[in-house]
Amino acid sequence: MSTALITGASRGVGAQIARALAPTHDLLLGGRGSTELDSLAIELEGSSTLPVDLTDSDALEASVEAIGSLDVLVHCAGVASSLENIADTPVEEWRHVLDVNLVAAAELTRLLLPALRETAGHVVFVNSGAGMRVNPGWTPYAASKFGLRALADGLRAEEPSLRVTSIFPGRIDTDMQRDIVAREGDAYDPGRFLRPETVAATVAHAIATPPDAHPTDVVLRPTGR
């Protein structure tokens, strides 16, 4: 079977992507070492964990150096920002959000390019609606997602043997979303948001697209149904 590495696989959308790809791929489950990551590996028999802090470049390089070929790389790890205006956002917040959401993805992609070229592989970036527009209080997060979009577009232009897909979902029903809504001071209604399984199915569908087609950008918006 083909091999897929998924970052942010411990929970939420990343875990659902792993479940969606498990029937067709051998999985490498990337994430910080945790009981959730270990439990998912047990659930998905035959999968392996890749416990690493993506922002630790030395540890990241060591963790993937043995990967000689890779069919699919799914970037799903990410953090939200503090929802403050630019005037109130300290430099540490900018650095943290950009480091996790953009720089780590760029570095992991760079490290795995030889393995992806070996298979004419597929790279999927789970982006966000914030990668296409900016709302007040979301500027650092949007900057990281606009950057992720540029990373995908640049990779697609520079590596014509690879397929590169950006997924732009609207807000998703996850633990992270619950935290965001609490900070916004609103009541949480999961029906307002996309289901993680829906985003995962979209990722799996893009990967399963026959090789004569290149799915580049996919936008998902919640319908409230």
Residue numbers annotated as active site: 141
- Residue 15 structure tokens: 């875990």
* Size of the chain, expressed as the number of residues it contains: 225
Say how far apart CA 168 and CA 221 lie, in whole Å.
9
Contact assessment for residue 165 and residue 123, using Cβ atoms and an 8 Å cutoff: yes
The residue type at 31: G
Contact assessment for residue 194 and residue 170, using Cβ atoms and an 8 Å cutoff: yes
Residue showing tokens 């807000």: 171
